[in-house]
């Protein structure tokens, strides 16, 4: 079995919670180490791991085959470029890049270097998304009329992470949570024909956008994507209405909370939602009206890394392509233009 030696570019929250546990749990990967600028933490959790003092030292290690770019958005393009030029395969966290031009440049460079590149969109592996996808694939609602996806929280004050709260490329809620919601819509429905957007600053003292409302135009239906930091009592995060009925579901995936609590993937009950998170289906089946709670699909972020392993050891494509990442930024750029010009932007 080929073992893919892998390194992280950061061992903060994302490295510790979203990447390292799944790399370590997969028999096809070995977590070789991480670039750590000041605090040396990775060796505490993984005694055999290397704490690289610089990016250059990490990229110079010829044993490393795969580099995870899990650093602030505005560094993705530069670090991914350097990793590809060092002949490494690359996984880049969302948002893939800060501009479409940067994304296209990375895609072209990966092709030139004959290396594979992927965007880490872990929410595709949430129980929430998988459940919604199943409902649509089974055509339980008939022709879709509208869909609405929310990522709402109650965070009314400016946070401590400067890279998220300082105005500049890659900052703001649209670049932080927007890629999750946009990728969800594009996975389920494909690219829309046009975008209309309202993007705001709502928190006192905030320097970056922290509220957005995007409307994606499809030929026969509309999709709304919304995020806010002032939602104390959230409505269902997933709302889909069709000609035959509706499906609503709260955001209830348990993986992030379990990881933060110190639980490790691999348990038989990993990714299973409690009944309180089950979605409500109200529709018609063969002429009979049904109203029932639906068992949620099992979530597993580890399936992303299984997809990466298959891509790097066989001819299969990466689970989330560079073009997927570019398409998300196309929507974001259109949304920014729409808000600035107060009009619908055709794609």
**198: CATH:** 3.30.360.10
pLDDT category at 99 given cuts 50, 70, 90 is very high
Distance of alpha carbon 21 from alpha carbon 67, whole angstroms: 15
The answer to whether position 323 is within a domain reads no
Residue 39 pLDDT: 84
Sheet with 279-285, edge to edge strand ranges = 288-294, 279-285, 246-249, 238-242, 144-152, 222-228, 211-217, 194-200, 345-346
Structural domains counted in the chain: 2
CB 134 within 8 A of CB 335: no
**72-97 pLDDT per residue, tens:** 999 999 999 999 999 999 999 999 99
Distance of alpha carbon 127 from alpha carbon 330, whole angstroms: 27
Residue 306 pLDDT: 98
Residue 17 is given by DSSP the state I
Provide the residue range defining the domain that includes 188: 123-299+331-346
Residue 162 has pLDDT above 80, yes or no: no
Distance of alpha carbon 8 from alpha carbon 32, whole angstroms: 8
The answer to whether position 274 is within a domain reads yes
**108 and 72, same structural domain?**
yes
Average pLDDT of the chain is 96
The answer to whether position 213 is within a domain reads yes
The answer to whether position 74 is within a domain reads yes
**What residues have CB less than 8 Å from 110, skipping those under 6 apart?**
84, 90, 116, 117, 322
pTM above 0.75, yes or no: yes
Residue 152 has pLDDT above 80, yes or no: yes
Query: What are the angstrom distances between the C-alpha of 342 and each of 4, 30, 193, 208, 234?
Result: 48, 49, 17, 19, 27
**132 and 84, same structural domain?**
no
**157 and 10, same structural domain?**
no
The answer to whether position 47 is within a domain reads yes
**176 and 97, same structural domain?**
no
Work out the percent of the chain whose per-residue pLDDT is above 70.
Answer: 100
The answer to whether position 324 is within a domain reads no
The answer to whether position 195 is within a domain reads yes
Residue 46 pLDDT: 96
**128 and 115, same structural domain?**
no
**155 and 105, same structural domain?**
no
**278 and 194, same structural domain?**
yes
**Domain CATH code at residue 63:** 3.40.50.720
**338 and 203, same structural domain?**
yes
Distance of alpha carbon 262 from alpha carbon 56, whole angstroms: 31
Residue 338 pLDDT: 98
The answer to whether position 129 is within a domain reads yes
Arithmetic mean of pLDDT, 27-31:
97
**103 and 129, same structural domain?**
no
**220 and 106, same structural domain?**
no
**254-306 pLDDT per residue, tens:** 999 999 999 999 888 999 999 999 999 999 988 899 999 999 999 999 999 99
**111 and 11, same structural domain?**
yes
Residue 38 pLDDT: 83
Arithmetic mean of pLDDT, 47-52:
96
**107 and 161, same structural domain?**
no
């Amino acid at each position: 079995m080929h073992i893919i030696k892998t390194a992280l570019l950061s061992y903060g929250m994302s490295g510790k919670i979203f990447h390292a546990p799944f790399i370590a749990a997969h028999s096809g990967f070995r977590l070789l180490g991480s670039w750590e600028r000041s605090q040396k933490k990775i060796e505490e959790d993984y005694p055999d791991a290397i704490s690289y003092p610089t990016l250059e030292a990490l990229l110079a290690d010829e044993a490393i085959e795969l580099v995870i770019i899990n650093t602030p958005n505005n560094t993705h393009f530069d670090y991914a470029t350097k990793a590809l030029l060092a002949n490494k395969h690359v996984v880049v966290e969302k948002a893939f890049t800060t501009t479409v031009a940067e994304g296209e440049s990375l895609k072209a460079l990966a092709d030139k270097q004959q290396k594979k590149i992927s965007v880490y969109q872990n929410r595709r592996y949430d129980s929430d998304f998988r459940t919604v996808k199943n409902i649509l694939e089974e055509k339980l609602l008939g022709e879709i009329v509208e869909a609405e996806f929310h990522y709402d929280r109650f965070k009314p004050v400016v946070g401590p992470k400067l890279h998220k709260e300082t105005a500049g490329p890659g900052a703001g809620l649209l670049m932080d949570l927007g890629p999750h919601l946009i990728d969800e819509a594009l996975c389920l429905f494909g690219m829309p024909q046009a975008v209309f957007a309202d993007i705001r600053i709502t928190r006192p003292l905030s320097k970056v956008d922290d509220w957005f409302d995007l409307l994606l135009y499809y030929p026969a239906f509309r999709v709304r994507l919304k995020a806010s930091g002032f939602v104390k009592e959230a409505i269902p995060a997933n709302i889909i209405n069709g000609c035959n009925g509706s499906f609503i579901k709260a955001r209830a995936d348990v993986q992030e909370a379990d990881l933060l609590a110190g639980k490790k993937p691999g348990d038989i009950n990993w990714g299973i939602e409690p009944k309180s998170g089950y979605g409500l289906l109200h529709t018609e089946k063969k002429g009979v009206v049904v109203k029932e709670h639906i068992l949620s699909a099992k979530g597993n972020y580890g399936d992303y890394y299984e997809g990466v392993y298959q891509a790097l050891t066989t001819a299969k494509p990466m689970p989330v392509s560079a073009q997927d990442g570019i398409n998300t930024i196309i929507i974001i750029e259109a949304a920014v233009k729409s808000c600035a010009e107060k009009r619908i932007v055709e794609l």
